[in-house]
Chain A
């Protein structure tokens, strides 16, 4: 947390990515699924942003919307995705293709399925360079070896000739990270990059990713439902519920002083190490389930599960309103926004 509240060079400059009013909807037979419904956030150069929320909240769809990889029946209905002076939501497929992999890269949740089983990993790493650079085959190979070395794959010269099935899950995810990072993208979207792996490897890979983005000055959107992971890495946190942002702000501020009852619930359900047996235990869990996104209740979507819900909550949508972030004395002023009629008050 101390790390994340340190001023980063990016905070004062113009954002690298600016998402405004993004709506990504799926037109299904059962009705419109508003997977992303009016989401806005900025990512500064070099910033690590955590995107958290329960399953189905729309985290992946935000990532895919930025990448221009929403497939029918889905569609970006409205909003803008400004990146480096261009609105990605309005770019054609050809222009988008030259950005994917080169300027914006993405890491998928499941390393077991993200690599093509029929090609060597060397081939798959080089492919990114072949697509986006004019390097010769030999230079590409050298870069691939260097990158594999960086992500901690032993004997990269030999491993280059191996197929994905010859790697463990953790090693495959390292390969995927290498593929994503090799063209030195300006923005990396990591969609739950470690959830499919076991705990010790999770920590290793998160550390590795953080080191890589810091080294190259890449901005990172870290998608996860694990608030604990994000609290250690992120500069800012965006909390998503049913396709909408419920809370957004500096990471330290959000973890220490959440204002939205949903965020509070997420924080309370982070497992803690108990002194006695060392086992992890959830202190509490948010009651109830995520509602069907096609049949959201009127008013606040969280109302059925919220301990603070009132009549007003069930009638009127709370809007995301910004307030000055509290706490962190140093660093530029960051805004802390919450969409709640009855936000938790900051204890003095």
Chain B
């Protein structure tokens, strides 16, 4: 187990390093941030000075080295726009994003598992056909469109829920969160639903397909021959087996949600890292984009590591070496 951890840790560092190279290359060859910094009527002298301050007058190799060593020390530079450390900006907004991502994931699992199990266990029934058709709609609906429809109907017409912003937040273990107050939670609902629909639909289809496969297995029939109840067969014998392949895609799903959160946050003016990213791209705020990308990469490798360990824990046939 220890050896495995070390191996995975090295892998994670290698992946992050590769991402840093990509990010650096992308940043270096997409526009010159100097012009964001200097006044429109700047003299050549002023421009050259700005370039020196930004370190852009040196070779790419030196620039990369500085980029990497600063990053290793936790220094990602300051936002051109906010004049604050970029890392602080991201960390400040992270709780807002995590909140809708986790709520969306929970919602997706909570709805997808029972529906997927039902549809998988009763393939021919009209209700399962309806569920499957619904999931196709869920997959093919563009998220931003769904978000706008929800805003129009639920927020504007019915005025049940707020359409934008985060609402009041409270301090919770040092993080600013919304879900602890009712008003804050009300602000969460629409963005979380919008974000979850696509993932929910895909999850449900995966669970259904796995259940159909699992229900054909001999051990299911043997469990029935023992006199197991319908519930025991579905949830004890069926679902656990069907969940194994699901665990492996869980990391990808989370990635999808984080990526798609940028869009949802923009629609709902939700002050998370996704919205910050979009704003920063518009403003050419390079350090913030870099932190965002590195941060998301880090999150990915960590989640995938956790998923692999979870996989080994629920499937006794897999031994971590």
Contact = CB atoms under 8 A, between A and B. Distances in A.
Nearest to A166: B316
A173 to B, nearest CB: 12
A163 B314 CA distance: 12
A211 B219 CA distance: 26
Interface string B207-222: 0000000000111011
A99 interface: yes
> Which one of A98, A99, A115, A117 has the highest number of Cβ atoms from chain B below 10 Å of its Cβ?
A117
Given A69-B221, A114-B218, A115-B219, A131 B317 contact: no
Contacts of B223: 116, 127
Interface in A107-152: 108, 110, 113-118, 127-128, 131-132
B228 A131 contact: yes
Interface residues of A, number: 28
B316 A118 contact: yes
B316 A163 contact: yes
Interface string A162-193: 01010000000000100100000000000000
B34 interface: no
Nearest to B228: A131
What band does the interface of chain B fall in when counting residues whose beta carbon is under 8 Å from A? 20 to 34
A113 B218 contact: yes
A134 B266 CA distance: 58
A100 B219 CA distance: 15
A9 to B, nearest CB: 28
A110 B219 CA distance: 10
A106 interface: yes
A105 B228 CA distance: 12
A127 B228 contact: yes
Contacts of A108: 218, 221-222, 225
> Which one of B226, B240, B316 has the highest number of Cβ atoms from chain A below 10 Å of its Cβ?
B226
Given A110-B218, A113-B218, A118 B315 contact: yes
B217 A163 contact: no
Interface string A284-316: 000000000000000000000000000000000
A229 B315 CA distance: 38
A67 interface: yes
A97 B225 CA distance: 8
Given A163-B317, A165-B316, A165-B317, A114 B222 contact: yes
6 contacts: A101-B226, A117-B315, A118-B244, A127-B228, A131-B232, A132-B227
A101 B225 contact: yes
B219 A113 contact: yes
B52 interface: no
Contacts of A117: 219, 241, 315-317
B123 to A, nearest CB: 10
Interface in B101-159: 124
Contacts of A101: 225-228
A148 B256 CA distance: 48
B60 interface: no
A128 B221 contact: no
B283 interface: no
Contacts of A72: 124
A102 B317 CA distance: 30
A165 B223 CA distance: 17
Contact of A97 (B229, B237, B241, B314): B229
Interface in B230-267: 230, 232, 237, 240-241, 244
B224 interface: yes
